[in-house]
Chain A
Amino acid sequence: MKAAIKNYVVEELLSGRDIGDKDDLLLSGLVDSLGVMRLVSYLEQQYSLKIPPQDVTIENFVNIETISLYLAGRVGA
C-alpha cells in the first residue's frame, strides 16, 4: 500500500521527484492545497472508501508513512 501511494505522489504530484516516506510532503511547493485534494480523491477511488474532511489533517497527511498508517487503519476496520 505504501509503495502504491508513494508511486502516485511521486509521479502525479511531484513530477517524478523522489521523496522519503517520512519527509514532509507538504513542504514541497509542488503539492499545494489542490494537490492534497487530488490525492484524497485518488485514495478514495483506489481503496473504495470515503475520507471525511475531518480526517484530512496534518496528523494523517504530513508524509507518506502517516497516510499509509491512516489508510491501513481505515481499510482494516
Chain B
Amino acid sequence: MSQTSLSVSGITVEVGGTIVVKKANLDVRSGEIAILMGPNGSGKTSLLRAIMGFPSYKIITGNIYLDSLDVTNLPSWERAKAGIAIANQAPPALSLKTKWLFQKIAEKYGTQEELSKVVNEIILQHLLERPAFNGFSGGEVKRAEMATVMLSKPKVALLDEPDSGVDVESTKKIANMIDAMAKMGVAILLVTHAGMLVRNLKMLGRGYVMINGRISQGGNARDLLKYVLEEGYRNFRGSDIQ
C-alpha cells in the first residue's frame, strides 16, 4: 500500500470567530484520489484552505502532516514549497499577466520545460497576455488554477471543485489531468459536487462526506458518490459523521 502523504488529524478551524471545521480526520495516500463531498457551506473549502495555510483559517486544535512533516504552524508559502498545492475555487483577479504567473511558478518549482506543454494541454494560450483571472469564464478560471497546481509539481494537490462551471469536454480533460497527477504519485484531495468528473476518474480511492464542519469516516469513493447522488446527504447522521 502506498504511504500516506497527507494526514489531517483532529483539526478544528476557526474563521473570524466561527468554528467552520470540527475535529476533522482525513488521510490521502500517495497516488490516491480522495473525494470530499458535502452540501454547500459544510466546510469543505475551509478545510482545504486551512490545510493550505491561508492566514484567516486558524487551526485551533489538531495537526496537519505532509509525509512525516508537521506543517500545522508553517505559513502557506512554506507549505507550498514543502509540496502542498491548491487549485482554488474562486481565485482573486490579479494585476499580474497570466503568463508571468505561470512563468514565476515554473521558475520557483523548476518546471520551466513543462510550461508550454501544460499551457497547450489545458488550452490556455489565449489567456497568457491577460491579467490572471480578470474576466475569465468559469471554465478558464478552473483550467488556469489546474495549471498552477501542475506547474508546482506537488506531493499533495487540493482541488476545490475544479469541475464547476466547466463544459463536458473540459471536464474530461481535467479528469485526465487529475489521473495523470495521481499516476505520478500525487496525493489528491478533490472537492466535488458532480458525478461527471468522478465518473471519468480512474484512480479513485476513498471518499469523505462533510456536514456542518464535521467529516465522515472514509469509504469507497465510487460507492459513496453513488449513494449521495441517489439519496443526497439527509442520511448522514450519527456514527457516519465523527
Asked if A and B bind, the verdict is: no
A residues adjacent to B (C-beta < 8 A): none
Question: Which positions in B face A, CB cutoff 8 Å?
Answer: none
